[in-house]
Structure formats: C-alpha cells, structure tokens
Amino acid sequence: MANVDAAYGLALHEDNSQSSLITCVIPSGDGTATFVGDAVKLYDLDSVRIDGGPYALPVVQAAATDPIFGVVMGFNQVIPSGMDLGRRHRPVSTSMYCFVKPAHPLDIYRIQCDDDTETIAVSDIGSNADIVVGSGDTISGMSGMELNSDTTAATAGLQLKIVGFVDRPSNQVGVANQDVLVTINQNQAFNDAGVAGVAE
C-alpha cells in the first residue's frame, strides 16, 4: 500500500526534553513565507516589537544544510495590521511572532521523506540527512519540508539524524513518502557542527 504524499515539515513526536516554547520573531525583512513545522535558524535581522510585545529572537526559515535553531509550532496571528485569523502561516515580508520549540538533541520529530531518487531503508537508521525545503501550504499552514533521502550519510554536517520509522499502521516502511523519526543533529544551541552518524 502506497504512503500518502503529504509533506508537513517537522512534527514533534516525542517531547523528551520537555522544554518550553520560545517566542521568536520573523521580521518583515525576511521575504520567505514560513509555515508550521518549518525548521528555523537564528538570523542577522534586527528584532522588532509587535503590538508592544517583546524584542524576541529573530529567526527565519532554515534552508537545506543550515544548522537549526528550532521548529515552528505556531504563529501569533494577532497583529495590529494585516491580521488574518483565517491563516496559520506567516506570509512573506510580514513581521510576526512565532512559537518555536528549540532544537534539543533528545527531542524526536517525525518528517516525511521525499524518497525521490533514493528510498530510505531500514539500513539508514542512525545515519544523517539534510532537509529539502518545499512550498508550504497556505491553506492548511503546514510546512513543505521533507527529509532529503538522497543525502543520507555518516557525515556529521547534516541537519537531521534518522532514529527510526513512525510506527503507525498506515506508514509503510521502505516505501516512498514514508514518515521517519529524526533528531536534530546540527543544532544551533548545542552543536552547530553535528555529530557523525553511521554509514547508510
């Protein structure tokens, strides 16, 4: 049975760190739409206050190969101008607070594999891989990020570490678009360079 091809970014699967969310801000200077489930990185943009809120850490959507600061759990849509409670994402060039789960080596996330030219197999558990950034969904607000199955390797400098497969009846292991469990390997708070994995 084929897996459903529906990217959703990084979804918190095991909150082993039990860490709280951090309110961050994506300043309007960033021109990339950002979605729930997107990995984000700290970025050199001036922080901004929104509606008397705090000067929060500025973040933007992480690209493939970028060390990760955390994962967006949601956005604060209540802003003085341009408020649209019908959406769940952050449109381009809009200053908006977001709730970020800081990357922690203990936390486990699930993510869909793109499985385009190489399909993740059981032998890939323990190896590292990068994300591939796809277009988010402006209707559901969900991220388009997936695990780039072509990048699996033992190399330390890869963003995610594959630690297993999602044990759900509808998730077919070894079949395209499977959901895998990952930890964040290149972590801006703990270890920018990442830790080597095992060979695929």
Partner 1 sequence: MANSGRITTGSIPRALQMGVDDFVNHLNKSYQSVGQRLFTQKDSHGKGFYEAVSLAGMGEASRKGEGSPISYDSLDQENNKRWTVYTMVKAARMTMEAIDDNVYQDVIPMVAKEIAKSLVYTKDVKRAEIFNNAITSGENGPDGVVLISTSHPLQAGGLSANRAATDSDFSEDALENMIILVDGFLNPDGLKSMYSSKYLVVPSALQFEACRVLESKLRTGTAENDINAINSKGIIDDYIVWKHLSDTDSWFLTTDAEDSLVEVNRKGIQRQEHNDPYTFDTIISFYERYRMLFNDWRGIAGSFGA
Confirm or reject binding of residue 161 to partner 1 (CB under 8 A): no
Six token digits for residue 11: 């979804």
Six token digits for residue 129: 């891989």
What are phi and psi for residue 70, nearest 5 degrees? 180, -170
Laid out side by side, the sheet with 11-14 consists of 11-14, 108-112, 179-184, 160-165, 128-129
Q: Half-sphere exposure of 44 toward its Cβ, with a 13 Å CA cutoff?
A: 0
Confirm or reject binding of residue 98 to partner 1 (CB under 8 A): yes
Per CB under 8 A, the list member of 142, 158, 181, 182 interacting with partner 1 is 142
CB closer to partner 1, 20 vs 117: 20
Per CB under 8 A, the list member of 29, 74, 126, 164 interacting with partner 1 is 74
Per CB under 8 A, the list member of 27, 37, 102, 197 interacting with partner 1 is 37
**Nearest distance in Å: CB 131, partner 1:** 16
Per CB under 8 A, the list member of 5, 51, 54, 78 interacting with partner 1 is 78
Q: Which residues bind partner 1 (CB under 8 A)?
A: 1, 6, 8, 11-13, 15, 20-21, 36-37, 71-78, 84-88, 98-99, 101, 141-142, 168-170
